[in-house]
């Protein structure tokens, strides 16, 4: 049991590190490619919001590297310094992607709404699931464990897994909106479009790895539960 968890965790940890390394490499590569529009990430974001009729979302700079995100509660597009100030393909792609989330919010995109509804319960399930599963298996001083407790832990973990899966279409859609707008708004040329698409692809893969890791772990826990049920 312990070995199985360790193997799955190690495999996806390495895979995640490789994707993160590639993402940082791509961001650095495309940060050296100026856009023909010469707009900064802040200006790109402000223009995309305006073009989509969104006037109640503020574009702000936040500390960190690739710490960019959209905050629906504060209605802010938060851009890292490199993106906020950058006048390059990487900055334009990331800024437009985060604005893609703002557009999703403004248009009540169904998958974003679902993900938002899952946030509170996911926070609870993420904090509790591993401990409940360990207790159910018997790693918490409960002897051979308890099938009911293990099942509760699996259900809690399944909620977290569902969140990672729902996140995928949200991220892919935001990127699609960003790339389409960059092209139609003449922010990037066709050559720059390809580079922006490549940068956002690697960003999306970080979410894919997270989802696959969670699915693999959930499947393993279910197999453990089924094997114990047959005993």
Contact 83, 65 (CB under 8 A): no
Structurally, how many domains does the chain consist of?
Answer: 1
Residue in 211, 181, 204, 146 with CA at minimum distance from that of residue 39:
181
pLDDT one digit per residue (tens) for the chain, 231 residues: 567 777 888 899 999 999 999 999 999 999 999 999 999 999 999 999 999 999 999 999 999 999 999 999 999 999 999 999 999 999 999 999 999 999 999 999 999 999 999 999 999 999 999 899 888 887 644 455 688 899 999 999 999 999 999 999 999 999 999 999 999 999 999 999 999 999 999 999 999 999 999 999 999 999 988 887 765
Which pLDDT score is estimated for 141?
Answer: 46
Which pLDDT score is estimated for 124?
Answer: 94
Which pLDDT score is estimated for 144?
Answer: 57
DSSP string over the chain: -HHHHHHHHHHHHHHHHHHHHHHHHHHHHHHTSB-TT---HHHHHHHHHHHTT--S-EEEE-SSSS--EEETTTTEEEE-HHHHH--BHHHHHHHHHHHHHHHHHHTT-HHHHHHHHHHHHHHHHHHHHHHHHHHHHTTTS-TT--HHHHHHHHHHHHHHHHHHHHHHHHHHHHHHHHHHHHHHTTSS-HHHHHHHHHHHHHHHHHHHHHHHHHHHHHHHHHHHHHHHHH-
**CA atoms within a 13 Å half-sphere pointing along the CA-CB vector of 102:** 31
**Domain containing residue 9:** 2-230
Residue in 209, 224, 229 with CA at minimum distance from that of residue 154:
224
Which pLDDT score is estimated for 1?
Answer: 53
98 is an active site residue: yes
**How large is the C-alpha radius of gyration of the chain?**
21
Q: Which residue out of 43, 98, 171, 192 is catalytically annotated?
A: 98
């Amino acid at each position: 049991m312990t070995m199985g968890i360790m193997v799955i965790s190690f495999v996806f940890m390495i895979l995640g590190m490789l994707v993160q390394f590639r993402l940082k490499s791509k961001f650095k590569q495309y940060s050296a490619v100026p856009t023909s529009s010469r707009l900064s990430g802040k200006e790109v974001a402000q223009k995309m919001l305006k073009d989509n009729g969104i006037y109640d979302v503020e574009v702000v700079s936040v500390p960190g590297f690739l710490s960019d995100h959209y905050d629906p509660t504060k209605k802010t597009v938060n851009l890292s310094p490199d993106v906020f100030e950058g006048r390059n393909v990487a900055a334009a792609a990331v800024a437009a992607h985060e604005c893609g989330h703002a557009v999703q919010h403004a248009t009540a995109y169904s998958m974003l709404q679902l993900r938002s509804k899952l946030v509170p319960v996911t926070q609870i399930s993420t904090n509790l699931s591993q401990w409940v599963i360990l207790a159910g298996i018997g790693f918490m001083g409960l002897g051979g464990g308890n099938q009911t407790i293990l099942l509760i832990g699996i259900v809690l973990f399944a909620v977290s897994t569902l969140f990672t899966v729902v996140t995928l279409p949200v991220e892919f859609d935001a990127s699609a909106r960003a790339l389409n707008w960059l092209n139609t708004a003449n922010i990037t040329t066709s050559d720059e479009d390809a580079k922006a698409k490549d940068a956002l692809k690697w960003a999306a893969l970080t979410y894919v790895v997270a989802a696959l890791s969670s699915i693999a772990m959930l499947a393993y826990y279910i197999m453990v539960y089924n094997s114990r049920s047959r005993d």
